[in-house]
Chain A
Amino acid sequence: MCARLVILAGVPALVELVGATRQYGEFVALDDIHLALRPGEMAFLVGPSGAGKTTLLKLINREIRPTSGEVWIDGLPAHLLRTGRVADLRRRVGVVYQDYKLLPKLTALENVAFGLQVSDLGASDEEVHDRALDALEAVGLGDRANAFPHELSGGQQQRVAIARAVVVQPSVLVADEPTGNLDLETAWQVMKLLEHIARFGTTVLIATHNLDIVRRMQRRVLTLVDGRLVRDQPAGRVGRLAWASS
């Protein structure tokens, strides 16, 4: 299996989709997607419900394979990876969901530590504890480390989920509607946190319906409609959003 590097403006791409198509029977969820993301780049994936946003994120995390085309993640061909090697890719891709997916019987610290423990058997107890606490402090929850998920607000739970995703220091972070359950102010805080993570070199791709935040962030925006990438607006030039205005 060979690695692949696509150079974007002198920087190798961390995420690259080449003619990626995904079908479910006759239904085409994604159609011939060409896309490349650089290290440290933050991008939004927007589009109406059923446009293929979640499918695209699943391709990146190798939850599914493309029906045709290629998906390269940090040099790994996700489209070719056998099941036994998916774990290698997953350690390079952090995932954040709208419903947080925290384990209810574990504290915030244990939830973050759990992600590290199962992905890195070489980490000692002390290292796991310190890194999990660091990650919680990085998302502003160092003082709530011993709280259980039900004792945390939605925004706090999402930050714990982000801490769990980044504690293994992934190259890529994908977030599927991370602010879907949050009020605007909390959503804004979570977005600033993701922006902060991107600043340290992690590629961040966020699927969202929250167009206010997309406009305010002024980051690259990829618009999907009916499984096709209809628009790719570079950072700082986000004006009208194609599908929202149509």
Chain B
Amino acid sequence: MGVVLKAPFPRRQRPLTVARNTFRHLFLDSARAWVRNLGATGPALGSMTLLLLLSGLVGLTAYTIQRLAATQATDAAILHVYLRDDATAADVAALRARLGADPRVAGVGYTTKAAALQHAQSRPGMSDLAGAADDNPFPASVDVRVRSVSDVGAVASTVGTNPPVDPILPTSYNPTASDRIQKALLVVGIAGGTFLLLLGFVAVAVTANSIRTTIMARQSEVTIMELVGARRWMVRGPFLVEGAMTGGVAGLVAGLITLVAGVTVVAAGRSTFAQIAPGVDAGVCLLAAALILLAGLVLGSAASLYSVHRQLEA
């Protein structure tokens, strides 16, 4: 006993030392603690991964549906007036002229029987049907681009009695299909959103609880840190980083699964998928994975922040 404590050391390269110590305390020590407590954070990690994975899949589905809806909205404004096989060129020209003069019509085009067949052969599932018949079963059509979707029905009703128009299936207009699809989309959207909200609540609650357990397990360490004058951010920071790590790892796993699943499905069913999921490609899957990772980080940090606030501020 009796040795005098040394005076403080000269502070060389202090900013570098502060940066290194801060990094070590906030990230390396937190990473070590996170790995050590993996058993305790396992449930949080699992539920958050599940949430993010489902979010990713639902997100991709929602994107697909949105693109489909946009395509449908564009298609809905185009009215195909199907022509009889024996329609004369003069009748067709008269019909096109009459439709072109209608102020509700933006433009009028024409599809020959051969073009209709070619178009059908390029559509998945239709190629077999197109090749099954000896004759070309697809009619020629006058394609009317209507300015407003709400006017499509009115324009369709004016062409039904024209001589060149097919009396059995005069137009492509289907008044109930659009409504049914819109309603179905709404129901699916509400159900999916509610499910994700519920799952999100569970994931945040489980993560917050796991952080709370971690804080309680390290209460003595926290107490000592506070007593020796550690700053608030030094006490709370590592717990926030651990929460962010939980969310980040969950996001990474869920993002990778989404990316791999998305890319695989796109690659495997390119011809089919191009119609079923228009606009979904590897880039969109990659973006979805990045968003899932970001969401994981934000969720994990938020859950941790909530828990740290409740546990330590109290």
Which residues of A does B touch, CB under 8 Å? 61, 83-84, 87-92, 95, 101, 103, 114-115, 117-119, 121-124, 127, 130-131, 134-135, 137-140, 142, 164-169, 192-193, 196, 200
Contacts and interface: CB of A to CB of B under 8 A. Distances in A.
B1 A169 contact: no
Interface in B246-283: none
Given A87-B229, A88-B229, A121-B21, A127 B9 contact: yes
A167 B11 contact: no
Contacts of A196: 1-2
Interface string B176-200: 0000000000000000000000000
27 contacts: A83-B232, A87-B232, A89-B229, A90-B226, A90-B227, A91-B228, A101-B224, A115-B224, A118-B229, A119-B230, A121-B21, A121-B22, A121-B25, A122-B14, A122-B17, A122-B18, A122-B21, A123-B9, A124-B13, A137-B3, A138-B1, A138-B2, A138-B3, A165-B228, A169-B8, A196-B1, A200-B5
Contacts of A124: 9, 13, 17
A114 B232 CA distance: 16
A90 B18 CA distance: 20
Given A90-B228, A121-B25, A134 B18 contact: no
Contact of B1 (A89, A117, A140): A140
Nearest to A111: B224
Contacts of A140: 1
Interface string B10-33: 010110011001100100000000
B220 interface: yes
Nearest to A193: B1
A138 B8 CA distance: 15
Contacts of B226: 90
Contacts of A193: 1
Contacts of B232: 83-84, 87
B225 interface: yes
B257 to A, nearest CB: 36
Interface of B: 1-6, 8-9, 11, 13-14, 17-18, 21-22, 25, 220-221, 223-232, 234
Contacts of A165: 228
A69 to B, nearest CB: 23
B25 A101 contact: no
Q: Which of B4, B18, B21, B226 has the most CB of A within 10 A?
A: B21
A102 B232 CA distance: 20
B101 to A, nearest CB: 76
Contacts of B11: 122
Contacts of A135: 5
B218 to A, nearest CB: 9
B228 A168 contact: yes
Nearest to B21: A121
A184 B21 CA distance: 41
A52 to B, nearest CB: 20
Contacts of A117: 21, 25
B4 A118 contact: no
B224 to A, nearest CB: 6
A98 to B, nearest CB: 14
Contacts of A118: 25, 225, 228-230, 234
Nearest to B16: A124
Given A103-B221, A117-B21, A134 B5 contact: yes
Contacts of A61: 227
A34 to B, nearest CB: 26
B227 A95 contact: yes
